[in-house]
Amino acid sequence: MSTHELFATRASRMKASEIRELLKLLDQPGIISFAGGIPDPALFPAEGFAAAFQTALGPDQQAQALQYSVSEGYVPLREWLVDHMRSIGVECGLENILITSGSQQALDYLGKLYLSPGDTALVGWPTYLGALAAFNAYEPRFDRLSINGNRGAAEYAASAGEGAVKFAYLSPDFANPTGETVDLRGREALLDLADELNCAVIEDGAYQALRYDGEAIPPVLALELARKGSIEDCRTIYCGSFSKTLSPGLRVGWVVAAKPVISQMVLMKQAADLHSATINQMAIDQVARACFDTHIPMLRRVYGARRDAMLQALQDHMPDGVQWTKPEGGMFVWLTVPVGTNGAELLARALDTVKVAFVPGGAFFPDGSGTNTIRLSFSNSNEDTISKGIRRLGEVLRA
């Protein structure tokens, strides 16, 4: 057996995410891309970051900015996050917060913390592809999380067989890939289920700040706090990210949870990469303090208009038999095309004939179902381009 064969088994567990290949598509000339779920770079607070990095590299802070730092994260940023979490209904302390390299890293650590081979993770059907990739490394079984559904704890537990249900993962606000939001009743039902199953809840808040209309719904963690009184009694773990609001390229996210969970994740982080980049945490802290409160309303206006343009264009150009979600925020609209139409084939055809890109929906299902679905992102195109692209997509679907 060669050295490489030694880990062939290990490697085959990890499904190659399609995101990387898709990012490459975006560089082709003339393509209208609704594929990547990425922010519009024209909206980055670049001047704020230029000032922040200049400060961090000035005489007072440079020694700290370029040096090793502690695994928990930069204290002033964690202090800002205590205030931020309070503003969305979550009362917590500094020791309940860990800075991670994007919320993706939090998902990896939570997989490592909770999952042994054969354990069950409850996820949406479809769900975020990156969560499936992160959890897959730890060889779980995925079961379909049915919120407000007709499956009770006993049924989940029976289905889990030998392995235990370790957590339910969800992105309750404007989820990737569907754009859908779990309503208040659904969040409460989820907490009931988690209590019955005695499992954790991983709440992915990546899009939480990007609401374009409708009333904000408290995070699942806020609802559990209201029930239990203290974060130390909560089973919900909140994963936040600056990637969709300030910059993904700096790789700064955070986790909020009971202290024992944070303590274990700090040890994991220390063993896995020591700490997230010091200077990036300092820059995010400065930019968040300077402009988070004005930057987010701007993003909501711009992305909200793009969402409107996409929904209008879908209304105008989609043939009968095509259905789509009406997201109140985030970056995505989810299309269900007639059964028998394959999303991957549709992508090949759309690229070839009208130069429109999107993500076939099948990749977001743990079992590879949902082949007649596609994900469209509206965040990185202006309204005219959105209208043109959706019109073209309508032509392909009619053909």
Q: Does residue 275 bind a copy of itself (CB under 8 A)?
A: yes
Which segment (48-56, 208-216, 219-227, 352-360) binds a copy of itself by CB under 8 A? 48-56
147's tokens: 């919120």
Which amino acid belongs to residue 188?
E
Q: Does residue 363 bind a copy of itself (CB under 8 A)?
A: no
What whole-number distance in Å separates Cα of residue 62 and Cα of residue 67? 8
- Closest CB to a copy of itself among residues 227, 326: 227
388's tokens: 């043109």
Whether a cis peptide bond, with omega within 30° of 0, leads into 248 is no
CA of residue 236 relative to chain centroid, distance: 16
Cβ at position 301, least distance to a copy of itself in Å: 20
What whole-number distance in Å separates Cα of residue 269 and Cα of residue 106? 9
Cβ at position 307, least distance to a copy of itself in Å: 21
Cβ at position 365, least distance to a copy of itself in Å: 17
Q: Does residue 377 bind a copy of itself (CB under 8 A)?
A: no
Residues 1-20 that bind a copy of itself (CB under 8 A): 1-4, 6-7, 10-11, 14, 16-17, 19-20
What whole-number distance in Å separates Cα of residue 170 and Cα of residue 128? 9
Cβ at position 308, least distance to a copy of itself in Å: 24
Which segment (36-44, 77-85, 290-298, 357-365) binds a copy of itself by CB under 8 A? 36-44
Q: Does residue 62 bind a copy of itself (CB under 8 A)?
A: yes
State the distance between the two ends of the chain, measured CA to CA, in whole angstroms.
Answer: 51
Place of tokens 């980049």: 277
What whole-number distance in Å separates Cα of residue 374 and Cα of residue 353? 17
175, 220, 250, 386: which one binds a copy of itself (CB under 8 A): 250
CA of residue 339 relative to chain centroid, distance: 28
- Where in 68-223 does DSSP place strands (E)? 97-100, 120-123, 141-144, 165-170, 200-204
**CA within 13 Å, CB half, 76:** 12
96, 280, 373, 377: which one binds a copy of itself (CB under 8 A): 280
Is residue 234 within 8 A of residue 244, CB to CB? The reply is: no
92, 206, 277, 346: which one binds a copy of itself (CB under 8 A): 277
Q: What DSSP character marks residue 15?
A: P
Residues 311-350 that bind a copy of itself (CB under 8 A): none
- Residue 323's H or E segment, with its range, is strand 323-324
Residues 124-163 that bind a copy of itself (CB under 8 A): 130, 133-134, 136-137
Q: Does residue 53 bind a copy of itself (CB under 8 A)?
A: yes
What whole-number distance in Å separates Cα of residue 31 and Cα of residue 238? 36
Which amino acid belongs to residue 8?
A
Q: Does residue 298 bind a copy of itself (CB under 8 A)?
A: no
Which segment (63-71, 219-227, 325-333, 339-347) binds a copy of itself by CB under 8 A? 63-71
Cβ at position 53, least distance to a copy of itself in Å: 4
For 306, the 3-state DSSP assignment is: helix
32, 35, 38, 231: which one binds a copy of itself (CB under 8 A): 38
Query: Closest Cα to residue 347, out of 125, 27, 38, 31?
Result: 31
**CA within 13 Å, CB half, 304:** 13
Residues 68-107 that bind a copy of itself (CB under 8 A): 68-71, 100-102, 104-105
Residues 169-228 that bind a copy of itself (CB under 8 A): 198-200
Cβ at position 337, least distance to a copy of itself in Å: 28
What whole-number distance in Å separates Cα of residue 204 and Cα of residue 104? 10
- Closest CB to a copy of itself among residues 265, 314: 265
Q: Does residue 291 bind a copy of itself (CB under 8 A)?
A: no
CA of residue 217 relative to chain centroid, distance: 17
- Closest CB to a copy of itself among residues 260, 297: 260
- Closest CB to a copy of itself among residues 10, 326: 10
270, 323, 353, 369: which one binds a copy of itself (CB under 8 A): 270
- Closest CB to a copy of itself among residues 235, 307: 235
Q: Number of residues interacting with a copy of itself: please give it, by CB under 8 A.
A: 82
